[in-house]
Structure 1
Amino acid sequence: MDSSEWDARYASTPGLVWSAEPNRFVVEAVGGLTPGSALDLAAGEGRNAVWLAGNGWRVTAVDFSPVAVERGRELAARRGVPVEWRVADVTTYRPAPGSYDLVLISYLHLPAEDLATVLDSARRALRPGGALVVVGHDLANLTGGTGGPQDPNILLTPEAVVDGLAGLRIRRAETARRPVPTTGGGSVDALDTVVVATRPAT
């Protein structure tokens, strides 16, 4: 979907489209890191950006939907944390190289060529020793999971993400299970790609 379609989706929902709580894999990946400067690409309504800010990170959050960014500002204000918000398309946004200790890409689903462009910008944006965290719906989710986009051309695999991270050290690259609550009180698993990589310190 383009930015206007996302604007319409966000605007048609009275509350947050997504949870206000951070993604579980983001929490796992970032929990042991020393807070510094962080860039959240395709931040949506800001749940991960606001969580990072609440844990001492200096966060820049980027999304192409003005409605989502405004929701993020409101969430940050309610939580009393500072986040720098920018309305921009991450496929053309170019962060300054070597500027961030953490870059996050969470549930960004694009055709392969566009995803490769974003991954290249993300890895270049890392400082030496910095970490890149990528989380998204896995291709295997189509047949083995629940929810998420149904277009195989925009779903992730650990291998495809790793292929776009030349020069980084891969710390984690797997298809992980994420429990999704059901109306009956139980849960079913969604399958997510989770990749964590770091830029060598020297």
Structure 2
Amino acid sequence: MDANAWDERYAASELVWSRGPNQFIEAECAALPPGRAVDLACGEGRNAIWLASLGWDVTAVDFSPVALDKGRTLGGDLAIDWVCADATAWLGAGLDLAVVAYFQVPAAMRRTAVRNVVSSLRPGGTLVWVAHDSSNLTEGTGGPQDPAALMTASDLLDDLDGIEVGLERAERVERVVNADDGHGSEVTKTAWDCLVRLVRR
């Protein structure tokens, strides 16, 4: 899906994603001391806004101008630099934290993006990456239905071959979601994500 298609999707509803941060981003980052962070492929900026509310100096990167405009409105006066750029090509420097949530692209693009974002961290800086796990296609609910856009934690670690990192978490994690049962009632279903947390050496 290209930027124009995402612009149309973001323009079609008040919010595509939730107003609050992703649950795994929140759990992994809440105790970190504020510094400089990037929210890569930020969408409407829910994670960037949450981080900035905790005192982080955040760069929010996405290729959809519509999403970024919505984020600016939601973020108000918080310390967020909204950058319209291709997340696969973006490169920063000296960051304390990088968060990436549900950036689902083919493997070659993912490899470029994760290598760039880890290279943007200072030594000791943290990456938290959350994505729909490959197993979600057959065992879970929601998410992309194209296997080429899915991944595992091991895939991401393989992408970083040759870059020295300290691994803190790399696993499949369960996320409970509410869904319509087709008869007007709400049921809970399980989605499977992969979660990687590491520090740059």
Please classify the TM superposition score into its range, dividing by the shorter chain length.
Answer: over 0.9
2-structure distance, mates of 1:114, 1:178: 25
Q: TM-score, normalised by structure 1?
A: 0.93
Which residue is 1:16 aligned to?
A: 15
2-structure distance, mates of 1:89, 1:38: 17
Q: Work out the percentage of aligned pairs sharing the same amino acid.
A: 46
2-structure distance, mates of 1:20, 1:12: 16
SS at 2:97's partner residue? strand
Once the two structures are TM-superposed, the CA of residue 185 in structure 1 deviates from its matched residue by 4.3
Once the two structures are TM-superposed, the CA of residue 76 in structure 1 deviates from its matched residue by 0.2
Which residue is 1:176 aligned to?
A: 173
Contact 2:90 2:117 in 1 (8 A): no
Whether 1:189 and 2:193 are equivalent positions in the alignment is no
Which residue is 2:45 aligned to?
A: 46
Q: Which runs of structure 2 are paired with 1:126-165 in the superposition (5 Å)?
A: 126-165=121-160
SS at 2:50's partner residue? helix
- CA RMSD, Structure 1 to Structure 2 (Å): 1.1
2-structure distance, mates of 1:8, 1:170: 38
- Give deviations 1:7-62, integer Å, cap 9, x for gaps: 0111111x111111100000111012111100111000000000000011110000
2-structure distance, mates of 1:95, 1:111: 22
2-structure distance, mates of 1:26, 1:16: 19
> Which consecutive aligned stretches of 4+ in structure 1 deviate over 4 angstroms post-superposition?
none
Residue identity in the other structure for 2:192 = L
Whether 1:95 and 2:92 are equivalent positions in the alignment is yes
Residue identity in the other structure for 1:198 = V
- Give deviations 1:51-79, integer Å, cap 9, x for gaps: 000011110000000000001001101xx
2-structure distance, mates of 1:113, 1:161: 11
Contact 1:162 1:170 in 2 (8 A): no
2-structure distance, mates of 1:28, 1:104: 12
SS at 1:182's partner residue? strand
Structure 1, unpaired ranges of 5+? none
Q: How many residues align?
A: 195
Whether 1:55 and 2:64 are equivalent positions in the alignment is no
SS at 2:117's partner residue? helix
